[in-house]
C-alpha cells in the first residue's frame, strides 16, 4: 500500500540528492579563486544583465528544474494541513535557498559557472511549483496514490499509456529548443519535408516500421483504457490529433522540422491499431502483458541501437572506451546539463522501471524484499551492459556508463514501486 506521506518524502529526498549531485559534478573544488572577480561575475548574467547573450535551452532547463521539487514540498506541507500561503512560501524559500547554496558552491568549482541569473530563474521556477502544489497538488496527489493503490487491472496499462504519451512527445520534440521568432519558424518551414518520398528517404525502412509500431501500440493501449467510454473511431481520432499536434509543433522547435512521412507512418500505425483493437481486447491479461513487455524491449532496443549500422573497426572501438571519470555515477548527463540529457535520464529510468514492473506482474519474479529489489536492479544493469556493448560497433553511438546507472536505478525503482502498490 502506497503511503502518501512516505512516498512524498522519499521522492523529495531523491530529487534533492540528484539535484545537488548533478549541479556540483564533478566535485572539482578549489580554494584558488578570486572572490571579488567571481562575485562580480555572479551577477553578470541574463536576465540580471539583459544585454548579455543567453541560451534558450539553459533558461528552459532552469525554469523546469525546481518546479517539481517545490511542488512536492508544497504538497507535503498541505497534507499536514498547513494553509496554502505557508506551504507555497516555505517551498519557495527552501528551493531558493538550496539553489543559492549550489550556485555559491559552484564558485569554487573549476568546471562549473556560478550565475545569479540561474538562481533567479530557479527561484521563479520554485515559486510556480509552490503555488501550483499549494493550490491543487493535494487533490492531484491523492488521486495519484489512490490510482496506484487501486485494484483496477487497467492500472499497469494506464501507466504504460501515460508513459508512452510523454516519451513519444519528448522523442518527437527533442532536443527541445522552442522559438516564436518569425525568422526561426520560417526557417523550420523551409527545412520541412512536404514531399512524401523525400521524407521517407531520411530514414531506413526499419526506423519507419518501429515508428509505426509505436503509434500502433499507443492506440491499442488507449482502446483498452477507454473501451467502455469511447468508440474505436473516437479513440483513433484523438490519437491522430495528438500525432498531428506533435508534428505541427516542430515548426516552433529550432532543432526539428515537419515531415509528412511521420504523419503517414503514424496514421498507418493508428489504423492498424483500430483494425486489430477488437481482437486484442479478447486476449487474456497475460497475453496482453506479454505484448507490452515485447514492445517495451523493442522500444528500448530502438533507443539504444538505432541506426543499427554495425561495423567492426578496432580503432573506433578503442576511442569509445570510457575513461575513469566517465564511471562517476551520472557523470555524462550531469556534465551535459541540457534538456536532452534530462530527457535521456528520464527515458532510460522510466522504461526500465516499466519493464521490470510488468515482468513482476506477469511472471512473479524478484521477491518483495530488499534483495529482490537489488536483484531487479542487477538484472536491468546487465541488460544495459548487453545493449551498451553493441554501441562500440555503431559509428554514431557512444557507450556511456551513465546509461548503466540509469538502467540499474530504473529496474530497482520498478520493483520497489510494484511492491509498494501491493494491497
Higher-pLDDT residue of 101, 171: 101
Q: Is 26 exposed, middle or buried (0-12, 13-18, 19+ CB in 10 A)?
A: middle
pLDDT of 411 reads: 93
Q: What is the pTM of this model?
A: 0.74
The separation between CA 259 and the C-alpha centre of its own chain, rounded to angstroms, equals 24
Select, from the ranges 5-9, 41-45, 242-246, the one with the highest average predicted confidence (pLDDT): 242-246
What are the residue boundaries of the structural domains of the chain, listed by start? 4-149, 154-282, 284-423
Q: Where are the alpha helices (DSSP H) in 284-390?
A: 285-305, 314-320, 331-336, 339-363, 370-390
Helix or strand (DSSP H, E) at 371: helix 370-390
Q: Are 332 and 326 spatial neighbours (Cβ–Cβ below 8 Å)?
A: yes
The residues, ordered by sequence, that sit 6+ positions from 56 with a Cβ below 8 Å of its Cβ are 177, 178, 179
DSSP result, 58-101: HHHHHHHHTHHHHHHHHHHHHHTT--HHHHHHHHHHHHHHHHHH
pLDDT of 3 reads: 55
Over range 228-252, report the average pLDDT: 90
pLDDT of 276 reads: 92
Residue 204 cell numbers, joined: 531506413
pLDDT of 423 reads: 46
The string of pLDDT tens digits covering residues 247-271 is 999 988 887 889 999 999 999 999 9
Higher-pLDDT residue of 261, 149: 261
The residues, ordered by sequence, that sit 6+ positions from 315 with a Cβ below 8 Å of its Cβ are none
The terminus-to-terminus CA distance of the chain in angstroms comes to 5
Over range 272-287, report the average pLDDT: 89
**Grid cell 512516498 in the structure block, residue:** 7
Residue 288 pLDDT > 70, yes or no? yes
Q: How confident is the model at residue 154 (pLDDT cuts 50, 70, 90)?
A: low
Residue 302 CB coordination number (10 Å): 19
Amino acid at each position: 500500500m502506497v503511503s502518501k506521506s512516505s512516498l512524498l518524502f522519499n521522492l523529495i529526498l531523491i530529487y534533492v540528492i540528484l539535484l545537488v549531485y548533478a549541479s556540483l559534478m564533478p566535485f572539482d573544488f578549489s580554494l584558488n579563486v578570486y572572490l571579488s572577480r567571481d562575485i562580480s561575475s555572479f551577477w553578470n548574467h541574463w536576465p540580471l544583465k539583459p544585454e548579455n547573450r543567453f541560451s534558450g535551452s539553459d533558461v528552459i532547463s532552469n525554469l523546469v528544474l525546481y518546479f517539481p521539487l517545490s511542488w512536492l514540498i508544497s504538497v507535503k506541507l498541505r497534507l499536514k494541513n498547513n494553509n496554502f500561503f505557508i506551504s507555497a512560501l516555505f517551498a519557495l524559500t527552501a528551493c531558493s535557498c538550496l539553489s543559492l547554496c549550489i550556485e555559491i558552491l559552484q564558485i569554487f568549482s573549476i568546471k562549473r559557472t556560478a550565475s545569479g541569473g540561474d538562481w533567479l530563474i530557479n527561484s521563479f521556477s520554485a515559486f510556480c511549483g509552490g503555488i501550483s502544489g499549494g493550490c491543487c497538488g493535494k487533490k492531484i496527489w491523492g488521486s495519484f496514490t489512490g490510482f496506484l493503490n487501486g485494484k483496477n487491472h487497467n492500472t499497469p496499462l494506464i501507466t504504460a499509456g501515460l508513459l508512452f504519451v510523454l516519451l513519444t512527445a519528448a522523442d518527437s520534440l527533442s532536443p527541445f529548443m522552442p522559438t516564436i521568432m518569425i525568422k526561426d519558424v520560417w526557417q523550420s518551414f523551409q527545412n520541412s519535408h512536404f514531399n512524401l518520398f523525400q521524407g521517407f528517404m531520411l530514414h531506413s525502412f526499419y526506423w519507419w516500421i518501429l515508428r509505426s509500431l509505436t503509434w500502433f501500440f499507443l492506440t491499442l493501449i488507449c482502446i483498452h483504457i477507454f473501451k467502455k467510454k469511447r468508440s474505436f473511431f473516437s479513440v483513433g481520432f484523438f490519437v491522430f490529433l495528438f500525432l498531428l499536434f506533435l508534428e505541427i509543433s516542430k515548426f516552433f522547435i529550432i532543432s526539428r522540422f515537419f515531415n509528412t512521412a511521420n504523419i503517414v507512418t503514424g496514421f498507418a500505425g493508428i489504423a492498424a491499431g483500430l483494425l486489430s483493437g477488437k481482437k486484442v481486447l479478447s486476449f487474456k491479461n497475460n497475453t496482453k502483458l506479454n505484448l507490452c513487455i515485447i514492445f517495451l524491449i523493442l522500444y528500448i532496443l530502438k533507443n539504444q541501437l538505432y541506426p543499427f549500422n554495425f561495423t567492426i573497426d578496432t580503432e573506433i572501438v578503442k576511442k569509445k572506451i570510457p575513461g575513469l571519470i566517465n564511471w562517476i555515477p551520472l557523470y555524462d548527463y550531469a556534465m551535459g546539463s541540457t534538456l536532452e540529457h534530462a530527457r535521456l535520464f528520464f527515458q532510460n529510468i522510466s522504461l526500465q522501471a516499466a519493464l521490470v514492473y510488468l515482468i513482476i506482474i506477469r511472471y512473479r519474479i524478484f521477491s518483495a524484499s530488499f534483495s529482490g529489489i537489488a536483484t531487479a536492479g542487477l538484472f536491468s544493469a546487465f541488460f544495459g551492459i548487453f545493449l551498451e556493448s553493441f554501441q562500440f560497433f555503431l559509428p554514431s553511438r557512444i557507450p556511456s556508463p551513465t546509461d548503466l546507472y540509469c538502467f540499474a536505478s530504473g529496474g530497482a525503482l520498478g520493483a520497489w514501486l510494484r511492491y509498494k502498490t501491493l494491497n
